[in-house]
Amino acid sequence: GHPYGSRFPRYNFSEAVDVYRMLLKQLGIEHLAALVGGSYGGMQVMDWITRCPDEMDKACLIATAATLNTEALAFVIVGRASITEDPAWKGGDYYETGDGKGPVVGLASARQLAHITYLSRDLLQAKFARGLQKNFVEAPIAERQRRERTFRTYFQVESYLDHQATKFVNRFDANSYLHITRTMDLFDAGARYGSLEAACARVRAECLVVSYEGDILFSVQQSKDIVAALLKAGKRVTYCHLEAGTGHDSFLTDIDDLSGLVGGFLAPRTPRVMKWQCRLYRNVVKMVAPRAHVIDIGCGDGTLLDVLRKERSVTGDGVEIDIDPFKEAVADGNMLLWEDADEGLSLVSDRHYDLAICSDTLQEVKNPRGLLREVLRIADEAIVAFPNFAAYRIRLTLGFLGRLPVSKALPFQWYDTPNIHCITLKDFKALCAAEGIEVREVKAESRHPFGKFLLALGLANLGASRIVARIGRKR
């Protein structure tokens, strides 16, 4: 037979996905445990989970988007033009002319342009800066004159892009590149259903969405758009932003965090909830209604969520930005959102949860007032737990020793403590009053006999080492 060339039919993402589906049918596979796709493959996963939502249990969408943004479109359009404007392309029928390799110059240029989008600006700068390629600089004079005539440079980054182009043209067909990139250009997960929100409302799989710092091709915001649409539709979704620093190619080159994250998501373990953990959070647990829909902001490794699932059969999510505890929480079967509480919880719509929990988070954020506003935007009520810096033991340590206290409850030195705000019960109540927030219930905790004695006398601000408060907007 002969290559199709210009006769190859135009196809779209859905038709490509249907090829996989027909293969599965022939293999006798009726249902998938999970779909995993990065970049172009992630867009195929997006098509599959929205168009055929009953065919999988879980889905991982990595460094991808529901559609290309304008900048990405522009890069791909220019790359394809490099191929189609190469005289050796011959309208796609180049296989039996010349050496049969076709538009290698155009394909090389397309690859060079695309490769720039795979790497972050920071990585390119750190790796090459304006360094010169030694073998270019020290080349024979005739070679250097040739480079000058053809407006070539001596920069290392040019040598790198030339190398990537040479590797690519030796293993890839120009027509294949044209067809594959055009299907990516034309894909829009929301177009078939009227909007991305409507498309995500069809999803039944639990989803993991991963974005990367410095990704030029698929922006962080595009991943967040998918997550926000899934959350709004009430779907179970975990979102993580990885700061590998490589850019789009990070999901291929920096896989340690990604592999741990995906592994925990696909095969979660059964969490071990210890009795001491239940005792630690007993006052929080008492304030949570059975089967409530909750979010734990600053959830760490998900221990409190594990306790609440065991003790109260709750559903819900956690918020965390430290990748190691994030992975641990996901491995316990929790759904997590990678968000900085100080920058707001933009992924979550108003009153999405029954209850928001901030356990030992309020004193660690830069803007406690803003956090309180956010938690009561996304939930009807909130539980806030924090160390009480007016406790008698702290007062005594400061008064007699002139030192900040170090204890089991506050195990940090002043220079490495995450507690950037010193909150007291009275200060917390004053802030709530100023914000129009109703303090509906307060539990004051102390592990020390004298502290418990002070609590019995009604001196909570003096006796309590820790406060658990349930708050809500004034009715």
| Phi, psi for residue 279 in degrees, rounded to 5 | -65, -40
| 248 part of the active site | yes
Q: Are 307 and 281 in contact (CB under 8 A)?
A: yes
| 215 part of the active site | yes
Q: What kind and span of H or E run contains 454?
A: helix 449-456
> Within 13 Å and on the Cβ side, how many CA atoms surround 47?
22
| 250 part of the active site | no
With both helix axes pointing from N to C terminus, report the angle between 256-266 and 323-331 in degrees, rounded to the nearest 10.
20
CA–CA gap between residue 7 and residue 5 (Å, rounded): 5
Q: What is the DSSP code string of 366-415?
A: S-HHHHHHHHHHHEEEEEEEEE-TT-HHHHHIIIII-S----SSS---TT
For 151: left if phi > 0, alpha if psi spans -120 to 50, otherwise beta; the answer is left
SS3 464: coil
Q: Which of 47, 86, 215, 301 is catalytic?
A: 215
* b (16+ CB within 10 A) / e for 407-426: eebbeeeeeeeebeeebbbe
Q: Which of 47, 248, 249, 296 is catalytic?
A: 248
Q: What is the CA radius of gyration of the chain?
A: 28
Strand partners, 32: 56
Hey, what are 119's tokens? 């790497």
Q: Which residues have CB under 8 Å from 441's CB, separation 6+?
A: 287, 469, 470
Q: Are 359 and 431 in contact (CB under 8 A)?
A: no
| Phi, psi for residue 118 in degrees, rounded to 5 | -85, -15
Q: Are 338 and 314 in contact (CB under 8 A)?
A: no
Residue with tokens 């999970």: 34
Q: Are 267 and 332 in contact (CB under 8 A)?
A: no
Query: What is the CA angle 360-363-366, rounded to 5?
Result: 130
Q: Which of 39, 82, 120, 359 is catalytic?
A: 39
CA–CA gap between residue 242 and residue 238 (Å, rounded): 13
Q: Mind telling me the catalytic residues?
A: 39, 215, 248
